[in-house]
Amino acid sequence: MNNITNKISKSTIQHDKENNRIYLMKMHKDDAYDIIDTLEEIVRENKYTKIIAKIPFSSKLLFLKQGYSVEAIVPKFYKGREDGVFVAKYFSIDRLKDKDKEIIKNVLNESIKKNNEKNLCTLSKEFNYRKAEEEDAEAIAEFYKRIFETYPFPIYNPQYILKTMRDNVVYFTIWNGDRLIAVSSSEMDIDNLNVEMTDFGTLSEYRRKGFAVYLLGKMEEEMISRGIKTAYSIARAVSYGMNTTFSKKGYTFAGTLINNTNISGRIESMNVWYKELFK
C-alpha cells in the first residue's frame, strides 16, 4: 500500500490510492484557514474522491461553508472539553452512494439493543493476555496479514508496528501458548487526551469467545491509568461483532462515515463510537 502520512504546517494528513481519499487526522487550529485549499489541491493532483477531516467543533462552520457535511460528532473529544467533528467532502457521486445502507441500518439497530449489556468476559486457562512488547512486532504484522486482505494503514509491516509502539500506540494481545490469536491497539493523541480503540483482529478459529470485549476492557483500564479522557473507534459499519462490542461496553454511536475505508478488500462505510473514560 502506497500510504502517505505527512505534515501540512502543524497538521497531519494521510492519503493513498487504495482508500482513494485524504484523511485529515489531526488539525491544528492555526491551520484552519489555509488547510482547506491545500487539501483540495492534493485531491486534484491525485484525483481522489473523498476528504474526511477530524476537526475541532470551533472549525466546523469554516468547513461547512466550503461544501463539507458532518458525518459524526464526538463530545468532549479535545482534552475532555471541546467536541470533535468528522466532516466530509465528496468529489464523486458514486462515492456518496452507500450500497450497504440497509445492512448498516440493521447492524446498528441490533447493536444498540446491546448497549451496556452486562458481560463478564474472562479467559479460560489455555489463553494468556498481555500488553505487547517491541519483540512482538514481527508476530503482530504477520497476524494482521492473515486477518485483513486490505487495511488503511501499513500494519503488515513490522517496522511500522515498531515505530507506532515507540510513538503513541499500545498493542494488546491474547496468546494460546506461543501462538498469537487476538490483537488490538490504542492509538493515543496525548496532546488532546483522546484515544482511538482500533486494529481489532481474532483468528477465525478463535472467534465468538468474547476476545474483543475482553481486550477493550483492558484497553480502557490502560488508557484511564494514563489520564486519557475520551475513547472512540471507527468500526466497519457492516460488522455486527465489532459494533456490538462497542455497544456492550457502553459506547455511544456518533455517526457513519460513508464509503470511507479500504478494509478487507473493498471500500466500506465506518461507524464512529465514543465513550467518556472520565466523567
Contacts 24+ apart (CB under 8 A), 219-227: 219/170, 219/172, 219/184, 219/186, 220/249, 220/275, 220/277, 222/131, 222/170, 222/172, 222/186, 223/186, 223/188, 223/195, 223/277, 224/277, 224/278, 226/188, 227/193
Residue 104 and residue 126: Cα distance in Å, rounded? 35
pLDDT in tens, 214-241: 999 999 999 999 999 999 999 999 999 9
Nine cell digits for residue 164: 507506532
In the block, cell 468476559 appears at 121
Residues 240 and 160 in one domain: yes
The low-confidence residues of the chain, meaning pLDDT below 70, are 1-2, 119-120, 279
Residues 41 and 134 in one domain: no
Could you tell me if residue 83 is left (phi over 0), alpha (psi between -120 and 50 degrees) or otherwise beta?
Answer: beta
How, if at all, do strands 21-26 and 50-56 pair?
Answer: parallel
pLDDT (0 to 100) of residue 117: 81
Residues 156 and 86 in one domain: no
Count of domains for the chain:
2
pLDDT (0 to 100) of residue 2: 66
> What distances in angstroms separate CA 40 from CA 17, 23, 259, one per listed residue?
15, 12, 19
φ, ψ at 171 (rounded to 5°): -100, 145
Residues 107 and 237 in one domain: yes
Residues 154 and 47 in one domain: no
pLDDT (0 to 100) of residue 35: 97
Instruction: Please say which residue of 64, 96, 128 terminates a domain.
Output: 96
Q: Is 176 helix (H, G, I), strand (E, B) or coil?
A: strand
**CATH number of the domain encompassing residue 170:** 3.40.630.30
pLDDT (0 to 100) of residue 94: 96
Contact 121, 213 (CB under 8 A): yes
Q: Is 82 helix (H, G, I), strand (E, B) or coil?
A: strand
Residues 83 and 117 in one domain: no
pLDDT (0 to 100) of residue 239: 96
Residues 55 and 106 in one domain: no
Residues 92 and 109 in one domain: no
φ, ψ at 41 (rounded to 5°): -65, -45
Q: Is 275 helix (H, G, I), strand (E, B) or coil?
A: strand
Look up the domain containing 111 and give its range: 101-276
Instruction: Please say which residue of 96, 128, 153 terminates a domain.
Output: 96
Instruction: Please say which residue of 47, 71, 96 terminates a domain.
Output: 96
> What distances in angstroms separate CA 261 from CA 68, 103, 119, 159, 236, one per listed residue?
18, 17, 30, 22, 9
pLDDT (0 to 100) of residue 149: 83
pTM, two decimal places:
0.95
Residues 85 and 164 in one domain: no
Could you tell me if residue 94 is left (phi over 0), alpha (psi between -120 and 50 degrees) or otherwise beta?
Answer: alpha
Residues 124 and 256 in one domain: yes
